Structure 1
Amino acid sequence: MDDDLPKTGANFVPLSPVSFLRRAGRVWADRVAVIHGARRVTYAALLERSRRLASALKGAGVASGDVVAALMPNIPEMLEAHVGVPAAQAVLCPINIRLDPATVRFILDHSGAKVLLLDREFASLATAALEGLAAPPRVVVVDDAEGPGGAAINATPYEDFLAGGDPAFPLAPPADEWAAISLSYTSGTTGDPKGVVVHHRGAYLNACGNALAFELSPRSVYLWTLPMFHCNGWTYTWAVTLQGGTHVCLRRVDPARVFALIAEHGVTHLCAAPVVLNMLIHAPAEQRRPFPHRVRVATGGAAPPSPVIAAMEGLGFEVVHLYGLTECYGPSLACAWQPALEAMTLAEKAAFMARQGVALPTLEEATVLDRATGAPVPADGVTLGEITLRGNTVMKGYLRNPTANAAVFVDGWFRTGDLGVLHPDGYIEVKDRAKDIVISGGENISSLEVEEVLYRHPQVMEAAVVAEPDPHWGEVPHAFVTLKPEAEGQVSEAGIIAWCRERLAHFKAPKRVTFGPLPKTATGKIQKFELRARLRGAGTTR
């Protein structure tokens, strides 16, 4: 065929999730888009506020490609940032509110953030992080009526900032859909965070894929139990808006509040780390509220054990298992429903749901490859290989980190570093982590970062950190420590934990410590697989 047909503005528009809000503002103008305490924000108002934010950022000198950081919990302003920042052709950098000042300082410096959108509660954290920065960002502070308040900080009030913006500012996609839309920092396998750069096209597609996989609709009411700073809320910051659903904001997860919001607002969907499922299951009876409908819950991380699935179903929840990484916009695989699932026993259902599943429809391909040869492993559910992905919902790469990029982009695939098997029906199941990462409550913890702190202890001779299964958090860091001979009997588990908590974000500190010699290879390398085996096989780790 003689295909000399031109690409024009009529038949090609760059994909960007900013278009979702523009459409929702027209189609569902008067529908409540956001619920936050006593606040109600319609889609028309959310559209206007996002336009104002984009315009105000431009007026503040933010240029195309500049980074705008956000240190905020799940509040309406964080949703506005997910549209207003990219509409200004800038790059949103959501920062984990649980990080320590040194790590926040590193992110602000490495990203070159020009503006920091800050919730007042975290003013002290921001002040400490900004100290010593050669080029600190301009700070715009949100005073949330639902928040606890916080310290004074030299900043522009968010509402004043918005007031100077144009309510008719165009929400236009970038000229190139490959342009960066967000920059998220992940600890990876080293103590220094890596900046994951994702683009407009991928964000658009992954939001569509999640809306399909999670069955979102205009009737959906989505409760924000998942942090919006984590992989852009797994792209549900955009996916819920795409479908015209209602966002119900929640500053921090509290079981009583979760049950109350589900009952009061008819919540239909939420996403959560396994630790949140356990919080709901073990909530006291007086904190629970009955609701007449079923709520779909998407969870990642370790597969939910059968008692958790049974308990959640008993409370009125339907659990959906997902798999993904920050590098692939959050979820990229889902344990897709099959007709036979309805007839399975609880044990059979739990075994099926232990699988991470199949690629979302917007991911081109997911498979398991032999780590040495790069060849596909047999689909026998037994042969181990590395889970690999390819498609438009894989990151652009790590910011200013060519070595890390070369390690994960191999022969046209993104290598996740996770080991798994491929079942005969095409479902993938994770079996072990090639990276020494502890995933605790949905947060990545670098074992090397924790080990570095342990080695700085004056009485520690050797240290290794591995993940220990935990019924509440999914996994927690377990430190194996060899003390210097003169220190044996003089250093306690509590002392080691306190040492780490003084130097790390608290969630990164070891929850348990075992003292004694460490297993090593003939060349002196610590055998972490042996330490993991001890934790799996021992009834006690003391």
Structure 2
Amino acid sequence: MSVLPILGRSPASRVLHAGTAVDPQELLARATHAAQLLPPGSRVAFEGGNALTRLIHFLGADLAGCATLLLEPAWTDGDRAAVLADARPDLVLRLDEWPGHAADEGERTIRATYRDEQAVHPIPDLRTTEQRDQAPHRSERTVRAACSMPVGSELTHFYLPTTSGTSGAPKVLIRSRRSWLRSFAALDLPLAARDRVLVPGPLGSSLFLFGALHALHSGAEVELLDKWSAADAADASRRATAVHLVPAMLSALLSTLEHDPVLRAECGLRTVVCGGAKVDEALEERLDKVLPGCELVEYYGSAEHSLIAVRRGGPLRPVVDVEVRDPVDGVGELWVRSELIFDGYLRGGEIVPAATEDGWSTVGDRAALHSDGSLDVLGRAGSAINTGARIVGAEEVESVLRGAEGVFDVLVCATPHPRFGELVTAVVEIDPVAPPSLRELRARVRGALDPAKRPRRWLAVRDLPRTASGKPARAVIAERLRAGTLRTESL
């Protein structure tokens, strides 16, 4: 059986989605078919499609040595246009009809057609609109002859991830196969063929795509959900042994299990893998209470650096070289030297190499590196709030509030104030069944934070705007607060 390059092996396990199970042989056959219909070594963008279709096409594109961009339906028209302008894909493959985004003039587009109603894999027409109108039909055999697979090496570019957009418009990165193959090894999860890994979020998020590919690399089964739903994830957890989540999703999953003793008793999870944000102590205690014996594996990384540090039970420990530069009271800017790093940004179709100093680079995160080698990450410098001549880290305030009863998630940001410059503002995603009281939240921060760090403005929302990975969209929320367009309620 042929090797799928980004897995570093032949497929050895099933992929499950919406009641359909695709065995390893069928997965390879469908990925190979997708590869044979793509120009080798090109940049491709996939739009629409369900999670299974996206995964198959991603693996097929990798077989053909293509670098793949996964377009997100949640993007605004402006963000989508900006991403395509920077990525400059050779073609955009529409895996299904996606309303609301008409093809721009001159943009190379492909529309999927199906062999029959039961087919999962669409057969696209690779010609541009003009070519389709003017040229005779191009046979599948002709396209197949153009590609001998697999194409490329570990250094081949396979993925065009985008930054999550928590602090601004998405940027397009370019990444080699080697950077993720080495990341799989660094995460070092003890998965085997008997395991089933639940991936409950969109593959357009690198966090969930990484989880799916890592599971297949490890020989474990993968179950895909098209979009996040705590109820669907809880149901799927009856059959899964591991799951990839962000902390807000873990909190919602635990809430569902807490309210359903049957689901809780049937839950098969032995490992919860969390990334994207810090897991606070209260959430970890809830996990231990709801699912005793379930191991929490938390990792810290960035779109640019991939995996940086991992923790299992103890403190966060780096898996690559790290330095904290120019520390004040032990906290400074985190710099990383790693073979897991991305190769650069794409701007106007051109690669802008990653900026490094003798192999070291930074994304601006603040951190403390302790004498025992453990690492505390305190968040991005750009999320700091300047209030009354004091600098407050938003993540520190968020970590205190996330553990409160009735709080699903929280984002802390600055809002303008004529006297203080900026106010520490807490936007709380509440449990609609048992919302927290303002008195309880104020008491919580009073016991953990000095006065300058305590929120002076409190707002409640039913749902925080989020990025594709499930993290609160910091820039979007701050802008809507300034514009007065964020729908909020009083606490």
Determine whether 1:357 maps to 2:320: no
Is residue 281 from structure 1 mapped to residue 258 from structure 2 by the alignment? Answer: no
Q: What aligned pairs does 1:434-449 form with structure 2 within 5 A after superposition?
A: 434-436=381-383
Q: Does 1:207 align with 2:184?
A: yes
Determine the structure 2 residue equivalent to 1:24: 10
| Equivalent AA in structure 1 for residue 4 of structure 2 | V
Report the counterpart of residue 51 of structure 1 in structure 2.
32
Sequence identity, in percent?
18
Is there any run of 5+ residues in structure 2 with no aligned partner, and where? Answer: 126-138, 386-392, 419-456, 483-488
The letter for the 2-side match of 1:55 is Q
Quick one: distance in 1 between partners of 2:264 and 2:380?
38
- Matched ranges for 1:184-333 at <5 A: 184-186=161-163, 191-210=168-187, 212=188, 214-231=189-206, 233=208, 235-263=210-238, 265=239, 267-283=240-256, 285-286=259-260, 288-291=263-266, 293-316=268-291, 317-329=294-306, 331-333=307-309
Which of 33, 53, 64 in structure 2 is aligned with 1:77?
53
State the Cα distance separating 1:118 from its structure 2 match: 3.8
Distance 1:229 1:474 in 2: 22
In the TM superposition, what is the alpha-carbon distance from 1:290 to its structure 2 partner?
Answer: 2.2
Determine the C-alpha separation between the residues in 1 that align with 2:197 and 2:40: 33
Amino acid at match of 1:160: I
1:466-516: per-residue Cα shift (whole Å, max 9, x none)?
777263565536451469xxxxxxxxx9xxx9xx99xxx99564279878x
Residue matched to 2:21: 40
| Partner-residue secondary structure (3-state), 1:86 | helix
Secondary structure at 1:429's aligned position in 2? strand
Give, in angstroms, the shift of residue 93 of structure 1: 0.7
Structure 1 distance, partners of 2:184, 2:117, is 30
The aligned runs of 1:111-150 (5 Å cut-off) are: 111-118=87-94, 120=96, 123-127=98-102, 130=103, 132-140=104-112
Would the alpha carbon gap of residues 279 and 17 (structure 1) be closer, same or farther in structure 2, given more than 3 Å must change? Answer: farther
Structure 1: state its 5+ residue gaps. Answer: 1-15, 147-155, 342-351, 360-364, 372-376, 439-464, 484-492, 516-539
- CA 357–106 in structure 1, closer or farther in 2 if over 3 Å, else same: same
CA distance, structure 2, for counterparts of residue 44 and residue 203 of structure 1: 24
1 CA distance for matches of 2:362 and 2:298? 21
Q: 1:136 offset after TM fit, Å?
A: 3.7
**Could you tell me which amino acid in structure 1 is paired with residue 205 of structure 2?**
H
For residues 82 and 289 of structure 1, the distance between their equivalents in structure 2, rounded to whole angstroms, comes to: 34
Summarize the Cα distance change of 1:171–1:291 in structure 2 as closer, same or farther, 3 Å threshold.
Answer: farther
TM-score for both structures, normalised by structure 2: 0.70
1:514 and 1:541 in contact (8 A); partners too? no
Q: How far apart, CA to CA, are the structure 2 residues paired with 1:56 and 1:326?
A: 29
| TM-score normalised per structure 1 | 0.64
Question: Deviation per CA, 1:140-190, whole angstroms, max 9, x where unpaired?
Answer: 3789999xxxxxxxxx9952339947599754240x532311111226697
- Which residue of the other structure, out of 366, 378, 390, is the alignment partner of 1:431? 378
Task: Note the C-alpha offset of 1:321.
Answer: 1.2
Instruction: Provide closer, same or farther for how the CA distance between residues 466 and 407 of structure 1 changes in structure 2, counting only shifts above 3 A.
Output: farther
Residues 326-345 of structure 1 aligned to structure 2 (within 5 Å): 326-329=303-306, 331-335=307-311, 337=312
Change (3 A) 1:298 1:157: closer
Q: Return the alpha-carbon distance in structure 2 between the equivalents of residues 356 and 370 of structure 1.
A: 18
SS at match of 1:109: helix
Q: Which amino acid aligns with 1:135?
A: E
Q: 2:338 aligns with which of 388, 391, 402?
A: 391
Determine which structure has the larger helix proportion and give its number. Answer: 1
Aligned residues: 403
**1:207, 1:224 → 2: CA distance?**
16
Residue 311 of structure 1 aligns to a residue whose secondary structure is helix
Kept after mapping to 1: 8 A contact 2:113/2:123: no
Please provide the CA RMSD for this pair. Answer: 4.3
Which residue number corresponds to residue 487 of structure 1?
none
Structure 1 CA distance, aligned partners of 2:350 and 2:36?
A: 37
Please, which moves more after superposition, 424-433 or 165-174?
165-174
Report the CA distance shift for 1:35/1:166 in structure 2 as closer, same or farther (over 3 A): farther
**Cα distance in 2 for residues equivalent to 1:325 and 1:262:** 27
Structure 1 residue ranges, 4+ long, deviating more than 4 angstroms after superposition: 141-146, 162-170, 187-190, 401-408, 465-468, 472-475, 505-508, 511-515
Q: Equivalent residue for 1:9?
A: none
Q: Is the 8 A contact 2:95 2:122 kept in 1?
A: no
Given the superposition, is the C-alpha separation of residues 370 and 139 from structure 1 closer, same or farther in structure 2, using an over 3 Å criterion? same
